[in-house]
């Protein structure tokens, strides 16, 4: 279970002790349809794109064949956030290749049910029914930020 505290926002620590429970963020991470990921190109420029993902075993799992895949081979740092700008959840962490991970089959099962798009584990990632291949990344969170509408109850969870 992550440790919660008030984050620093607008240059100072947020006053008050009314924090969101971790379950609030976890529920939104689990239920979201689209997630935006941000990686860094080797020359330092940012790269951002939407992906489909699942929240499993306190990590965000996704597959992409985009420039993000190349970026993550040189810099594993990643930020992922939900589309919702009112009930915000932002995950900052490290993306690691998930091929061979014991939970990869469970990730594929959950992804297939969530998106009605069956995927299957391979030695290097996943494949779909069209034989399209892709790597799978597992984002291990270091810190997660969240807040409700009008920045209500801003909370920082450290893993």
pLDDT 10s digits, 5-62: 989 887 767 766 699 999 999 999 999 999 999 999 999 999 999 999 999 999 999 9
List of residues 6+ apart from 97 with CB closer than 8 A? 125, 135, 136, 137, 138
Residues paired with 52 in a beta bridge: none
pLDDT, residue 52, reads: 97
- What does the alpha-carbon distance between residue 50 and residue 80 come to, in Å, rounded to a whole number? 9
State the CATH number of the domain containing residue 22: 2.30.110.10
- Give the total number of structural domains in the chain: 1
**Does the pTM exceed 0.95?**
no
Domain of 41? 3-158
The answer to whether the CB of 80 falls within 8 A of the CB of 91 is: yes
pLDDT band with cut points at 50, 70 and 90 for residue 65: confident
Neighbours of 113 (CB within 10 A): 11
* Residue-wise pLDDT tens digits, 132-147: 999 999 999 999 999 9
Pairing of strands 12-13, 8-9: antiparallel
């Amino acid at each position: 279970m992550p440790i919660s505290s008030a984050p620093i926002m607008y240059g100072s620590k947020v006053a008050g002790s009314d924090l969101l429970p971790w379950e609030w963020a976890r529920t939104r991470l689990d239920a979201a349809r689209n997630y935006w990921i941000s990686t860094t190109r080797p020359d330092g420029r940012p790269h951002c794109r939407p992906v489909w993902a699942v929240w499993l075993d306190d990590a965000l799992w996704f597959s992409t064949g985009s420039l993000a895949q190349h970026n993550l081979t040189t810099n594993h740092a990643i930020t992922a956030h939900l589309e919702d700008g009112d009930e915000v959840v932002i995950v900052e962490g490290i993306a690691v290749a998930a091929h061979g991970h014991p939970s990869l089959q469970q990730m594929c099962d959950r992804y297939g049910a969530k998106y009605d798009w069956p995927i299957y584990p391979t030695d290097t990632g996943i494949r779909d029914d069209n034989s399209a291949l892709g790597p799978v990344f597992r984002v291990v969170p270091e810190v997660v930020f969240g807040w409700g509408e009008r920045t209500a109850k801003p909370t920082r969870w450290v893993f």
